[in-house]
Amino acid sequence: MIIKTLAELQQADERTLVFSPYGLGGRMRPEDAAAYQQHVIARHELSEAVAEGTRQTFEQLREICAYGVLCYPIYTMIDDQGLLVFEQALRDRFIEFHKGTVTFIHGSTGQDQEVKAEKYEDVSAFLRSKDAKNALLRVGEGPETMRFNGMLTGLLAWARRLGMLRGQRNRFVEQAIRRLRNYAAHPSGYHLTDPVEAARTISDLAEIINHLWGSLTPGGRLYPAPAEREIVAVAWNETSGTVACARLAAELAAARDQVSPGGPDIGDWACVLVRGVPWDRDLCQFDSRYEASRLPAEWLWGPGSVRDALAWASETQPEGDVIDALDRYFMLRYSGGLLYLPQNPRIAAAAANSERDGTWFVLRADAPDEAFNHQRQALAAGYGCREERECSQCPVETIGSGTWHEAMSLLRACGVDLQQLDVPDVRVPAPIRAPRYNRILDGCWDIPKEAR
């Protein structure tokens, strides 16, 4: 070890100075780099509801991270320690949730055994004792139980059972964090992390911790706050085939001019009004009967002329709302070798008798394309996807399958709103769009010629 003077310890590490707001590039001034790295970390705050122990450890991480400008290896320590704080947060939430008493049920006798647990070590001690043999943890206040080993895997399963952790893509993130945590706790070699990875770890850690205590993160990557839906006009030019989206119906004419300045008269444009998220680019492929956009979009009016759309919007004054895009339910129909695009359960509930044949799959996913790709691959026996509860290859959970009536029963058991939503069959005639179905053939899939 090289002994440095105080002045030498105060010198900026050159490796940190190349990380700027614009990416890797020229060397920043040390004072600018120090300010920038602190601003990156300072924006990640914890909810006031978070347990004090988790909060203090998280604040330690943020405080130490500021010194990475002087010592580059600090970012590796932050990244590794952040993975351990993830487990600490789960332990603190477990103890806080049970309010000092954790109830286990003996699998052989069915008798309750209450364990006094002021700290998580009390739970760990019980699980190591002979009394814990075949014991099941009572989940919440109901009759549901689960096997619980007290380790990170068990804590993750417990938090998901109670909805403290959600999202199908986040399920893969949690498993990745678990593996990285094990690597950090039991390293097998040297590694070096950069400031970007350290900041990402703190960002994800803040989102997960906040969600454990019931708080969402506006603009978050893992647990974003509900997206705001507005009245969006999806318009297309009957002559040129150009498709445009206007944030509000009243802005439709301006959107047309931006797409094709000096173009055809507004009378050459047709449109449909939907309630959707304005920045969702998939709205240009809007389909009223099937989930063609990444975020939920609801048909309101159309198709028709722009003038009629503006008149209807002015008279009706429709309003927006907010939607949660995590863990959405989808229904997919497989009939005659064709797998149809996902549908909203309320729209599938209104299907005519002629559209109810075949096998219906009930899936839970964060986006319709993920649900569709999973089921297509499962039917084609490809990529290791299987019709099981939680797919190990993609972020999709299979609730079940069967006839249309059986699928409806599955959704009712899950508490899904099945009030029928009967909408007209409206599709935006985009120049390039996905067909409504894929044909499944001999262990592979292909788009049928009639749908191209």
Q: For residue 324, give every residue at least 6 positions away whose Cβ sits within 8 Å of its Cβ, in sequence order, or none.
A: 226
What average pLDDT is seen over the chain?
A: 87
Question: Whose CA is closest to 173, among 377, 366, 40?
Answer: 366
- Summarize pLDDT for 365-378 with one digit per residue, the tens: 999 999 999 999 99
Lowest pLDDT segment from 31-35, 388-392, 428-432:
428-432
Highest mean pLDDT among 64-68, 104-108, 138-142: 64-68
**What pLDDT score was predicted for residue 254?**
57
Check whether 260 has a pLDDT greater than 60: no
Calpha distance 51→333 (Å, rounded): 46
Q: How confident is the model at residue 252 (pLDDT cuts 50, 70, 90)?
A: low
What sign does the dihedral 288-289-295-299 (CA atoms) show?
A: positive
Lowest pLDDT segment from 51-65, 151-165, 309-323:
309-323
Cis amide bond preceding 195, omega within 30 = no
Question: Whose CA is closest to 290, among 330, 320, 317, 260?
Answer: 330
Q: How confident is the model at residue 240 (pLDDT cuts 50, 70, 90)?
A: confident
**What pLDDT score was predicted for residue 185?**
85
**What pLDDT score was predicted for residue 442?**
46
DSSP 265: -
**What pLDDT score was predicted for residue 423?**
93
Over residues 395-422, the mean pLDDT reads 95
Check whether 398 has a pLDDT greater than 50: yes
Pairing of strands 338-340, 359-365: unpaired
Residue found by looking up tokens 């009957």 in the block:
238
Q: How confident is the model at residue 196 (pLDDT cuts 50, 70, 90)?
A: very high
**What pLDDT score was predicted for residue 1?**
82
- Summarize pLDDT for 47-61 with one digit per residue, the tens: 999 999 999 999 999
Calpha distance 262→193 (Å, rounded): 53
Residue found by looking up tokens 């780099």 in the block:
33
Mapped onto helix, strand or coil, the DSSP state of residue 385 is coil
Residue 64 vs residues 29, 57, 75, 83, 86: alpha-carbon distances, Å: 20, 11, 9, 15, 17
Over residues 270-299, the mean pLDDT reads 91
Mapped onto helix, strand or coil, the DSSP state of residue 16 is helix
Residue by residue, DSSP assigns 40-60 as: HHHT----TTS-HHHHHHHHH
Over residues 80-108, the mean pLDDT reads 92
- Summarize pLDDT for 326-335 with one digit per residue, the tens: 999 999 999 9
**What pLDDT score was predicted for residue 265?**
52
Over residues 123-151, the mean pLDDT reads 89
Alpha helices per DSSP H over 66-151: 74-98, 120-128
Residue by residue, DSSP assigns 138-194 as: E-TTSS-EE---SSHHHHHHHHHHTTSS--HHHHHHHHHHHHHHHHHHS--S-----
Calpha distance 9→36 (Å, rounded): 20
What sign does the dihedral 298-301-307-311 (CA atoms) show?
A: negative
Calpha distance 45→207 (Å, rounded): 9
**What pLDDT score was predicted for residue 250?**
53
Check whether 297 has a pLDDT greater than 90: yes
**What pLDDT score was predicted for residue 142?**
79
For the chain, percent of residues with pLDDT exceeding 70: 90
Lowest pLDDT segment from 10-24, 85-99, 205-219, 379-393:
379-393
**What pLDDT score was predicted for residue 21?**
87
**What pLDDT score was predicted for residue 434?**
59
Q: For residue 277, give every residue at least 6 positions away whose Cβ sits within 8 Å of its Cβ, in sequence order, or none.
A: 227, 228, 229, 230, 283, 295, 297, 323
- Summarize pLDDT for 8-64 with one digit per residue, the tens: 888 999 999 999 888 887 889 999 999 999 999 999 999 999 999 999 999 999 999
Q: How confident is the model at residue 94 (pLDDT cuts 50, 70, 90)?
A: very high
Q: How confident is the model at residue 441 (pLDDT cuts 50, 70, 90)?
A: low
Residue 143 identity: P
Do 447 and 432 touch, CB atoms closer than 8 A?
no
Burial readout 314-345 (b: 16 or more C-beta within 10 A, e: otherwise): eeeeeeeeebebbebbbbbbbeeebbbbbbbb
Lowest pLDDT segment from 214-223, 308-317, 443-452:
443-452
